[in-house]
Chains A and B, each alone.
Chain A
Amino acid sequence: MLKIKLLFTALFFLLHAGIALAQQKYTLSGTISDAENGETMIGATISVKDLSGVGSACNEYGYYAITLEEGKYTIVVNYISYSTQEQVIELNKNIVMDFKLSPDTKISVEVIVSAEQEDDNLRNTEIGVEKIDIKEVEKLPVIFGEKDILKTIQLLPGVKSAGEGNSGFFVRGGSADQNLIILDEAPVYNASHLLGFFSTFNSDALKDVTIIKGNPPAQYGGRLSSVLDVKMKEGNNQKYNVTGGIGLISSRLSIEGPIQKDKSSFIVSGRRTYADIFLKATEDFKDNKLYFYDLNAKANYRINEKNRIFISGYFGKDVLGLGDDFKTDWGNATATLRWNNIVSPKLFSNTSLLFSNYDFNIKISGNVNDFNINSNIKDWNLKQEFSHFINESNTLKYGFNIIHHQITPTRFEGTISSSDKKSRYSLENSAFVNNTMRLNKRLNLDYGLRFSMYNILGGNTYNIFENSIKTDSILLANGAFGKSFYNIEPRFQFSYLINKSSSIKGGYARNTQHLHLLSNSTSSTPSDQWIGNSYNIKPEIADQVSLGYFKNFKENNYQLSVETYYKNLQNQVDYINGADIITSPDLESELLYGKGRAYGLELLLKKTKGKLTGWLGYTLSRTERKIDGINYNNWYVARQDRTHDLSLVAMYQLTKRWSLSGIFVYNTGNAVTFPSGKYNIEGNTVFYYTERNGYRMPAYHRMDLGATYSRPHKKKYESSWNFSLYNVYGRENAYTITFEDDPNDPSRTRVIQTALFRWVPSVTYNFKF
């Protein structure tokens, strides 16, 4: 503990070193928001025209602060695709000034193009970070016409799809559970609907989506591979709006508006699929249920200049049922209560209280008995974060996070079963400090420390296993503290501007993960279950080093980035061969442990302006695991290893009314285990396997096209038609390959390939008024 204290003290000294020299200085602060709907602008930049290289960016609540010596300055405010504002100020006291920016297109006056904002991608230290433009997502063709941010991020280098049409994703060789998916700070444990074909995110309700591929600043933690930070819209505080869409599979509707103009607003957004309505129409499936729905709601209220509160919630559920006898449902619920407080112009505080619940149920009813299988995770989470705008070159963030987990594992229960299922309780706490520092005009640094703790709490019995055999057992009384884990996670990143159009960036991060998803399946199913650290399971640890070269050319019209990474993984968890995941008395007897490594090269060329926009992404990578008890304890390539992964995304504004879009993807097939021989047991063919993941699925490629027609506005009513065609050239991409006896000729075996989708056309009607 002493060591940790020393580290933090040293860090604080380092941070405050430059401050003592300050002369008479004043702070300009405020919020930057959209003039039309009042949404605050995350990442909008504010710079001082008179002082080259001096500026600041809004935090995630649209708050900025910049501290300068007394004087007269021209302040420039920028946000991508919004008109730039300039304001002359006389800084002789602390000033609070809010800015409202209007979208570019509607401003006829001269737009000042500022290099400061446009080459921000070169200057900031962010490496392996991509922001998703929600407006862009709307234009891209997508399966079933259901726009989906999780499918858009899969088109970025380093992010791979979990399967055909699937919203699950893998980042830089990590498994699906190593992504931290947060919606307004609340973790979402299962981000997919209908076996992964849809994500839980209704993009109508979203404001900002950022993915960080393994080098997050210290305020983020808890997962190894990535952070997907999703923020909901705050709601228009200027006027009422209704937006919606009618598609083939689902419809959605959002209503937003001011509660008090300029002061408070709300948004409610819902979505429901109606595949079950088609089922009703069929004789065969009319008693079956198959649907999901989502509800997002958020409200915010500005109490006064210094205090603002937000309440947001998400509720989503999937229901699958066969008649009255079989029903399975699962869903997430999250709730966030946030309080923004401007303690002083330089110090911004956010306090969040979060609740997150994930439920999974299967119910089988019979005449004499009922069976059910269920699991549940319930989190209470308190987060305190300070943004401290120390001076023009340092922005410090520090805070802590306390999470109480209650995890109820998946177990088989029935009217007559003698299950001794009990929840496990634990505390996951962390403290962090992170500084973003502009060292000089060329060099920017971002460094911090995260200290994470995990305590097993009492109320359950924990068994200790060695090679699947129980060697000891620990009974923890209610209220007792069990085993605790402490981890220090250093984070460091830099960017160095080589010249006006290019920079180098690098970073190192250690991430630890205390919750682990156990999955014995080759694709994500709702029966996958979460388990915390225990007397057998240690925290997973990843160390990642990244290095990148960034270049902008043609007046920042094109952005190129080349990034490489190497990641080392410790304490990875997997099931033993033939693990019994439903009935074994303690799942921990079915686990194996090992390590992993992943490395690769990612290329991204983006065109950000003009009639034609889009990007070309390419990843060359390798991902391996070594788990004692699998593959004769040798290294093997992980399932998600894909040597080549290419995506081409293009959007073209044809006329004022028509825009076209297209996607092409190509990737090496997944690493899979195929038989190398066969034999006979009891007259049935059994396959003989020699190595784990020694084969490849066939390469995957596909092209999708889309077109959007925006109808002329009628008064306030705007509408558009979106047409898309998934898998234009109808390639039968292998979804599964199975081996079986030929039913027509028992003397031979055959290989069957199943392809899911060929030519999926869809049409969606979107409206807004």
Chain B
Amino acid sequence: MKKILAILASVILLTACEKEINIDLNNADPKIVIEGAVSNAAGPYYVRVSKTVNFSAGNEVSPITGAIVSISDNLGNTETLIEASPGLYATNSTTGVPGRTYNLSVSAEGEVYIASSTMPLQVALDSLIFLPFLGPGGVNVYVTIPMFTDPQDFGNNYRFILTVNNVTDDSYIIANDNSTNGAANRRPIFSPYALIESADSVQVEMRCLDRASYDYFYTLSQIAGNGPGGGTTPSNPPNNISGNALGIFSAYTTQTKKQQVP
């Protein structure tokens, strides 16, 4: 909604002009960032441990090396990860099984951080449907409807990753069953940065997430919606890692469908 309003606002405001500026931003003390994931796809699974950098620095990740990272599950399986490359820790034996709860422990720079995430049961993605939609400029574009049926139990969360003609869109597209519990999905997914036209090849990855991961990516999607209509006041997304570390530890199921638009 916000995006559509923003697009409309920019239609009105044809006079708007953009330019790159310099702002003197404060430097903050580097903070630890932990990004970990376990899925039902085959491993290895990775945990990246890094530090924040100042805004003016380059986009290269500032890794934390030599951390002790372990993942265990609620059946008692446990594993210490191996540092595959600086700051990137990989599993060897852990298997991702829907319904299990995974615990992450990271010991780095004298602090221990822990997180826990339960992999939801997988909801089957049946197929993709494409609907024509009259986009800005009168061009026919398509929205994609991932066809799946939400389970009767309340509290399912989804994330979709859209790839159009082999280019993966980096918008955060997420959904839950708050207002559509137990129903067959009819909600389209759409990214203004990945417009779909006739004969395009579209791939959708559907992930089933737990609530903490949903909140995390939902908040990121809200902050990203900053435009002429005004966005939400930005904040660090809430997460499931102790010790005020940034990032997220997420156990999710994944499945992919790829189809061509007629």
Contact = CB atoms under 8 A, between A and B. Distances in A.
B31 A583 contact: no
Given A525-B230, A688-B236, A751-B22, A739 B12 contact: no
A673 B178 CA distance: 30
Given A195-B9, A577-B238, 6 more contacts: A323-B138, A414-B187, A575-B232, A639-B233, A679-B51, A689-B236
Interface stretch (A70-78, A384-392, A655-663, A741-749): A741-749
10 contacts: A279-B11, A417-B179, A527-B2, A577-B236, A577-B238, A583-B179, A676-B28, A679-B31, A692-B233, A751-B21
Interface of A: 163, 194-195, 197, 275, 279, 283-288, 290, 320, 322-326, 328, 362, 366-369, 371, 373, 411-419, 520-523, 525, 527, 575, 577-578, 580, 582-585, 639, 673-690, 692-695, 732, 734-739, 741, 746-758, 760
Interface stretch (B54-62, B71-79, B108-116, B198-206): B54-62
Interface string B108-141: 0000000000000000000000011111111000
A55 B202 CA distance: 80
Contacts of B178: 580, 583-585
Nearest to B26: A676
Contact of B180 (A324, A417, A683, A695): A417
B246 interface: yes
Nearest to B132: A367
Contact of A677 (B12, B53, B131, B181): B53
Contact of B18 (A287, A677, A689, A754): A754
Contacts of B229: 195, 521, 523, 525
A366 B145 CA distance: 11
A163 B16 CA distance: 14
A678 B53 contact: yes
Nearest to A676: B28
Contacts of A682: 35, 170
B240 interface: no
Interface of B: 1-2, 4-5, 8-9, 11-13, 15-23, 25-28, 30-31, 33, 35, 48, 50-55, 57-61, 131-138, 143, 170, 176, 178-184, 186-188, 215, 218-220, 222-223, 226-238, 246-248
Given A417-B180, A688-B28, A325 B222 contact: no
Contacts of A680: 33, 35, 48, 50, 59, 61
B183 to A, nearest CB: 5
Contact of A754 (B12, B17, B53): B17
B15 A752 contact: no
Contacts of B58: 747-748
Contacts, number: 246
A373 B9 CA distance: 19
Contact of B59 (A328, A415, A523, A741): A741
Most interface-central of A371, A583, A674, A688 (chain B CB within 10 A) = A688
B4 A322 contact: yes
Contacts of A411: 179
Given A290-B8, A290-B11, A737 B21 contact: yes
Nearest to A286: B138
A757 B15 contact: yes
Contact of B20 (A163, A371, A580, A750): A750
Nearest to B176: A583
The 4 closest A-B pairs by CB, nearest first: A578-B219, A523-B230, A323-B134, A577-B235
Nearest to B233: A673
Contact of A752 (B21, B33, B134, B236): B21
A756 B16 contact: yes
Contacts of B170: 682-684
A583 B187 CA distance: 13
Nearest to B235: A577
A418 B237 contact: no
B53 A674 contact: no
A752 B19 contact: yes
Contacts of B50: 679-680
Nearest to A162: B230
A322 B136 contact: yes
Contacts of A414: 179-180, 186-187
Contacts of B247: 679, 681
Nearest to B234: A673
B27 A676 contact: yes
